[in-house]
Structure 1
Amino acid sequence: MAYFIGPDISDSDISDDDYVSYENIPENTAFKQVTRELTEKEKQHQLNTSMYNAICNNNVEDVRKFINNGFDVNTYLQNDWTPLFLAVSFGSAKLTEELLMSLADVHLKRDSCTTLMMACNCPKETSPCTETLKVIRLLVNHGVDVKAVNKTRMTALMFAANVGNLPAVQFLLPLSNKDAEDNQKWTALFWGVQGNAVDVVKYLLEQNLEYTKPDIRNNTPLDIAKDNDFKNIIELFPQEDEYMLCPINPNVLSFDEMFTDLNTAQPDFFLDTYNMLWGMRSECLIKRLIDKKLTLKTVLSITEEELEELGVKMPFQRYRILAGLYKFHKHPFHPKSIPVVPLTETYSNNDTAIQILSAIKQIITMEAGLHFIMKHCSTEDISIEQRASIKKNIKNIRNILTKCNIISKKICEKTKNLDKQREPVDLINKDSCRPLIPWRKILFSVSVVTLILVIQFKKWLCSIC
């Protein structure tokens, strides 16, 4: 309804002296209302808005009146919301039943989501789980597709698990594909963990849902719980080993703890093995592998069969370790990673020991890389030419390792000679590496030569005489 608005008095040319009061204006000269007929589009918009507000306010009587007056229940109200979409999103069983009885289309979708997904996504704060379950039952009884997926391949069961609607999960699980995965390979169990729904996770684990299969990021449901510090959910999963909460601080380890067996030719390098397993998100296996006294070389060249023999039963755990080793060996070895000691610099015994251990670690890593390639060469689908090239490169690397082995033996001999000296060596410089002059050998040699010359000289004198 439009109204006639008179001009503003302030804009009038009449002065204050000529002010006329409108209190006694005759009725026939009062303001008049001007009516205008609304267009059909405006009428429909007002009707849609009234229907939208009635559903949001859960006003069943007004909704019923609109329907009885011929309102189309499949009309899109605002932002592609139909009356049924709104009713199920608010978890209103009475409104849902009223709309379904009025032939509301249960198969319509909004942004690839079905009415069942919207009902399952209704939070507990909006509607109790028991009320939402009534809505879900109504939709299922009217033929909604329980196994339908949206554009990210999520199912209604996943939505229900994420909001922690246990009654809905219990009702939908037998009707759904419990092992269905979305685009990130998350199942309903993943979504239950993500939503911190303890009751839902417990129920799904009791129903034997797969909990060891990782997603595209190589995370399991247990990893999601650990990342979010959901302690109540972590306790629900089977724990094979105790997992460590923080990495080892290398400053608190003594030399003997880092290298457990000093009599072996190669140190264990326990700290490196620990850090690698921690980086592979396999910290729960650290204690098991360390108890087996595995050296760094063995860990870097291990196979899936060997992991299984060591007691790593979960396939996803073996896959993590092997995937991490593959990425590790994929990076080429660079000669600059081996430390070089310039002859002009002075190094202490401590510096020398560190450099030697670093070189040993590099050699062990290269050797383990060769073993890793040889062990997995037969399982890879590669051509004959590629196998020949690999063998050729391995032969060249072996020759280099042989030379490194010779150098390391010479270094060991040199250190033994230094240890035999009476005075301890505090600093090693370029003069320390020079060979000592063998005065005894020189004196003995000069004496022998002198004696021979004297004898020859006497013989020569005798022959002359």
Structure 2
Amino acid sequence: MFRPAGYYSDSEEDSDYSDYGYGEPKTRSRVNAQPAPKPVESNDDLLYQATTEGNLSEVRRIVEMDRYLLNGCLRHGWPVLLLACNEAQYEIVKFLLEEKRVDVNQQSGLKTALMAACESSRSSDQVLKVVELLLEFGAVINCKDSYGTTPLMSAITNGHTEVVKLMLDQASLEATDNEGLTPLFHAVNNNQPEIVQMLLKAGVITDNVNRRGFTPKQEAEFRAYSEVAALLPNEVDFFNVPREYLNYAFYQDISQGRKESEMPGYYQEIGLLLYGMYSEQHLEVFAKEGINLLQFLTLNDENLKRLGFILPFERKKILYGLLKFHRQPWNRNCLKKFGKDRSLDSYDLLELLSNHLKQLTVMQASLLYIGQMMSPAEIKDDFDQQLVICQNKINQFKQIVSSFNQELEHIDSVTVSSPVLHIDATRTKAERFFLWKQPFLCIIGAITTAKVVHCIFRKLYK
């Protein structure tokens, strides 16, 4: 009988193998073998188990014993508040917020308790109670995790319809995740017709595209979600924003309106203001209605509703931006100035006057805005003295404008028929007058000299 290589024992009893080495090895008994010690559960594991099971008394006992666990991450990655929200354990969440004063906006890797609740796989009724409690304690709705996902997007993805309805008025419906997907795209991709209908009623934009170049309707058709596709509107005609809302191109843009007698609209400033309000995508709305700067700066909630801003969140962004704008104190540095030694041409003067006119437009808008926010009695009581000072300043300004107008008329009276392209600001009024009269005096002098010479010659050769 052959033995495996390297096996030197001739005893069959001592062999651990059967013929040709394919047998099962023999078991060897251990003498005085000790049983393996039972692993001791840590407070982290006990708290995790108690939270997932909804055992409030056990959670209370553990956090009283180890208060570090209130804010620290458990072994499983999340703090206890986020874990309780994800498990939709209402009583535990309430205990942590009310009694232990845990921060409702506590984060773990950019994920908040509200996000964890909206991602929950529990029933929508349980999740809704937890979300209502979080919002009551001041949870921030418009925040994003590392993937750019908002709580609203998570609620849509997991089909929590009532939670979506609860957050609809306060959440941004135009926010995009890292893939460029809005909440409407999330509803379409997860075949949620009821939520799609809710978003459409709220006035969500339907013509934006994702990174594949698809609109929400095209995405629904591509995925063969016929019910969702039927809810979405067909493609609308593309609107080209007029040039006057995009940039300044002609001097008339800063000096007059569509007619010479009208004030400038300063439409170009609206896009810049909307950009500061994170609402630049709505420039088209104001361009379609022909809103000028004065009208834009005096908008209120009712005006925005009439313009088609159905979403309260979008209206609040614009209204808050206008409030911040009007609260800024006016500074005279806003006025354009030129140095005394600089030579000015006619365009410089036009630019200077137009800048002053724009500042007057802004001041007028601020006064109208204050008038909308306050009753006439309050305005009189609070601004009576300021109005007197303002009236005096206006009278002084009128005098300056009058003197400036006289100066322009004088310049016009001493100029030739073609317009003046250059005005030397360094010369005095008398010097400028002499410069304009000098050519005329030279001509008169030449004619007089010629007459005198002619008379002398006639007397000499008579």
- Which TM-score band applies after superposition, normalised by the shorter structure? 0.5 to 0.7
Matched, 1:425 2:429: no
Alignment-mate amino acid for residue 181 of structure 2? K
Matched, 1:327 2:324: yes
Q: Residue in 1 aligned with 2:165? A: 209
1:270 Cα deviation (Å)?
1.2
Q: Over the residues paired in the alignment, what is the CA RMSD in angstroms?
A: 5.3
Q: Residue in 1 aligned with 2:387? A: 394
- Cα distance between partner residues in 2 of 1:242 and 1:256: 36
- Cα distance between partner residues in 2 of 1:160 and 1:239: 22
1:400 Cα deviation (Å)?
2.8
Matched, 1:239 2:192: no
- Indicate how the Cα distance of structure 1 residues 331 and 295 shifts in structure 2: closer, same or farther if over 3 A, else same: same
1:232 Cα deviation (Å)?
5.0
Alignment-mate amino acid for residue 277 of structure 1? L
1:266 Cα deviation (Å)?
1.4
* Alignment match of 2:264 (pick from 261, 264, 267): 267
Q: Residue in 2 aligned with 1:371? A: 368
Matched, 1:345 2:342: yes
1:396 Cα deviation (Å)?
2.9
Matched, 1:51 2:40: yes
Q: Residue in 2 aligned with 1:85? A: 47
Q: Secondary structure at the match of 1:51?
A: coil
- Cα distance between partner residues in 2 of 1:357 and 1:428: 18
Matched, 1:255 2:210: no
- Cα distance between partner residues in 1 of 2:138 and 2:265: 39
* Alignment match of 2:291 (pick from 294, 303, 323): 294
- Cα distance between partner residues in 1 of 2:206 and 2:251: 25
Structure showing greater radius of gyration is 1
Matched, 1:167 2:121: yes
- Cα distance between partner residues in 2 of 1:200 and 1:336: 49
- Cα distance between partner residues in 1 of 2:300 and 2:166: 24
Q: Residue in 1 aligned with 2:104? A: 153
- Cα distance between partner residues in 2 of 1:154 and 1:289: 36
Q: Secondary structure at the match of 2:58?
A: coil
User: 1:330-377 deviations in whole A, cap 9, x for unaligned?
Assistant: 222233432344553202333222222211111111122221222211
Alignment-mate amino acid for residue 153 of structure 1? V
Gaps in structure 2 of 5+ consecutive residues = 1-35, 187-198, 211-240, 438-462
Q: Tell me which moved more, 328-337 or 165-174.
A: 165-174
- Indicate how the Cα distance of structure 1 residues 339 and 191 shifts in structure 2: closer, same or farther if over 3 A, else same: closer
User: 1:169-228 deviations in whole A, cap 9, x for unaligned?
Assistant: 6463255454631765325997899646856334245654344555xxxxx4446x3475
1:412 Cα deviation (Å)?
7.0
User: 1:115-149 deviations in whole A, cap 9, x for unaligned?
Assistant: xx9899879xxxxxxxx99x959xx6xx9646554
- Cα distance between partner residues in 2 of 1:256 and 1:343: 24
Identity of aligned residues (%): 15
Count of matched residue positions in the alignment of Structure 1 and Structure 2: 331
Indicate if the aligned counterparts of 1:190 and 1:221 stay in contact, CA closer than 8 A: no
- Cα distance between partner residues in 1 of 2:313 and 2:404: 43
Indicate if the aligned counterparts of 2:335 and 2:356 stay in contact, CA closer than 8 A: yes
Indicate if the aligned counterparts of 2:114 and 2:134 stay in contact, CA closer than 8 A: no
User: 1:17-46 deviations in whole A, cap 9, x for unaligned?
Assistant: xxxxxxxxxxxxxxxxxxxxxxxxxxxxx9
- Cα distance between partner residues in 2 of 1:188 and 1:355: 43
